[in-house]
Structure formats: C-alpha cells, structure tokens
C-alpha cells in the first residue's frame, strides 16, 4: 500500500488563480479529511467526507470546495486563491478498527499565494 498520497508537493499561485490539490488513498478508507496548518499552529479542518458522494464542512471551509466521487480520491479545490490561503495542506484518511480510529496523513502540499 502506498498509503495517503498528495500532489503537488509544492506550488506557487498568483492571487485569483485556481488549483486542485489531489489526495488519494489505497487503503479503502471511508473517512477522509483535509486540514491546513499555518506556521506554529495546529491543524484546522477544512472539509471531510464519510464516504463516496458525501462531504461536509469543517472548521474553515470558506474559499475551498471538495468532491468525493470515489472512495480513493478526495480532491480539494481553490477557486480564487488569496494570500490568506498560504499554508501547508494535509490530507488524511481514517478507518475504525474495533472502535479505535487511526488517522493516516499524507506528506502535505505547501502552497504559497503571492
């Protein structure tokens, strides 16, 4: 298993540009999440999904959109990039095993909006 993979690893955007951050997991996990992490801060939940076709907002969803057409993929879309979206973005997936949840994180995408 490759686990959770994210592309790209790093990207520079101009204000107003759009892009999609890709996230794929090959562990057949139902639950997937997108977080952002600003310098010296914890992780803030942007969006999450409990299964294919189902998505919901997290703590900081403004300026982002997601889709979940398959179990494996959970892309995050930025439509009009703003400097405030400069951050490191982590995708995670999780599975419940006898009531014990373990979250696996992807390597992250560093985004700089200028």
Partner 1 sequence: GQNIDQPTEMTATEGAIVQINCTYQTSGFNGLFWYQQHAGEAPTFLSYNVLDGLEEKGRFSSFLSRSKGYSYLLLKELQMKDSASYLCAVRDRWGGGNKLTFGTGTQLKVEL
Which residues of the shown chain bind partner 1 in the complex (CB under 8 A)? 31, 33, 35, 40-45, 48, 50, 56, 58-59, 90, 94, 96, 99-108
Rounded distance, CA 101 to CA 24, Å? 19
Least distance from partner 1 to the Cβ atom of residue 62, Å: 17
End-to-end CA distance of the chain: 36
Minimum CB distance to partner 1 smaller for 35 or for 64 = 35
Least distance from partner 1 to the Cβ atom of residue 80, Å: 26
Rounded distance, CA 67 to CA 70, Å? 9
């Amino acid at each position: 298993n490759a686990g959770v993979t994210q592309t790209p690893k790093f990207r520079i955007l101009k204000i107003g540009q759009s892009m999609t951050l890709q996230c794929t997991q090959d562990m057949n996990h139902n639950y997937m999440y997108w977080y952002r992490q600003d310098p010296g801060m914890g992780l803030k939940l942007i969006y999450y999904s409990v299964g294919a076709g189902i998505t919901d907002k997290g703590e900081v969803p403004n300026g982002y959109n997601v889709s979940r057409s398959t179990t494996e993929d959970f892309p995050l879309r930025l439509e009009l990039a703003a400097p405030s979206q400069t951050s490191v973005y982590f995708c995670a997936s999780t599975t419940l095993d006898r009531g014990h949840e373990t979250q696996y994180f992807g390597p992250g995408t560093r985004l700089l909006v200028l």
